[in-house]
Amino acid sequence: MLSYRHAFHAGNFADVLKHIVLLEMLQYMTVKEKGFAYVDTHSGAGLYNLQSEQAGKLQEYQDGVAKLMDLDWPELALYREAVIDVNKHGALKLYPGSPLLAAKWLRPQDHGWFHELHPDDYPRLQANLKPYRRCKVLKSDGLAGLLAQMPPATRRALVLIDPSYELKNEYDQVSKAVQAAHKKFATGTYAIWYPVVERRQIERMQQQLVKAGIKDMQAFELGLAPDSAGRGMTASGMLVVNPPWQLMENMQKLLPRLAKVLDRDGKAFARCTQLA
C-alpha cells in the first residue's frame, strides 16, 4: 500500500476530475458562515513538481492539466486559479494536491485534518501545510482517523477519501469506513475517488453503500477509453454522498466538454449518475 507515489501521476486526467469536483464542494461549504471540518484520509505530499524525475517518467500531466490551462471557461475558473496560484512565474511547473487546494479554502472557523502514512510524503505534507494554521497533519491511518473525527463539533463536514487501491480489499475498507462514518454523522459530505481498472470492484462498492441505506449519492466519471481488463486505469470517478445541490447540474455541463478536450483517439467519455 505504501509503495504508491502520487508524484508519478500528479496533474493527470484523474486529478483533473477529482480536484474540479473537490473545489466545487469547497466553494459550496464556504457559502455558509458556519464552520466545517475537512478530512483528507490519504493526503499525499500536497504539492508536486511536474519537472521532477517521477513526474517526468510518465508525463501524465500532459494529457491532463496541461491541456486545460489555456481554456478560458468560467466553469474552470476555480481549478485554473488554484494551479496558477502555485506557479507564480507563469510556466506550469508545480501541481497542487488536494491538501493544498483545501487548505486555501479553510477560514478561521474551519478545521482541516490531513492523514498520510508514507514516510517520505508525510514530512513534505507537513512542510507544505505549515503556513496554514487551521490544518493538522497526522501520520495515521486515514480511515480510522475519519471515524474518530466524526461527528465534528460544527456538525458540518467534507471528507475526501483517496486511497491508492493497490490492494483489492481497499474497496471494501473504504465502503465499511464510509458506512460507519455515515452512521455516526449522516449529514456529512463524503467524496470517494476511485480508479476504473476493474469495474466489478466499483459496482460492488456502490451496491454496498446503497444497501447500507445511504439516500443521496452521485457518481461522476471521466475516462480516456472504455473499460478494459488489460489496459490499467482507463477512467476515474468521484462518488459523492450528500452532494451539494448544484453539483450534478454543474458536472453535467462541464464533464462532457472536458472529455472532448482530453480526448486522444475519439474514445474519451464523461458520465454523471444519480445512484441513490
Q: How far is CA 142 from CA 14, 149, 270, in A?
A: 21, 10, 29
Going by C-alpha positions, the residue among 148, 179, 143, 144 that lies closest to residue 161 is 143
List the end-to-end C-alpha distance of the chain, in Å, as a whole number: 31
- 204 touches 171 (CB < 8 A): yes
Report which DSSP code applies to 273: E
Residue 235 β-bridge partners: 196, 223
Residue 240 β-bridge partners: 191, 218
Tell me, yes or no, if 141 is annotated catalytic. Answer: no
Active-site choice (85, 110, 162, 265): 162
The grid coordinates of residue 161 equal: 477519501
Alpha helix stretches (DSSP H) within the chain: 13-29, 53-58, 77-85, 98-103, 121-129, 142-149, 169-184, 199-211, 247-262
**E strand or H helix at 111, and its extent?**
strand 111-115
**β-pairing verdict for 37-40 and 111-115:** parallel
Q: How far is CA 37 from CA 85, 129, 134, 212, in A?
A: 24, 16, 10, 24
Going by C-alpha positions, the residue among 269, 208, 263, 270 that lies closest to residue 241 is 208
Catalytic residue set: 162
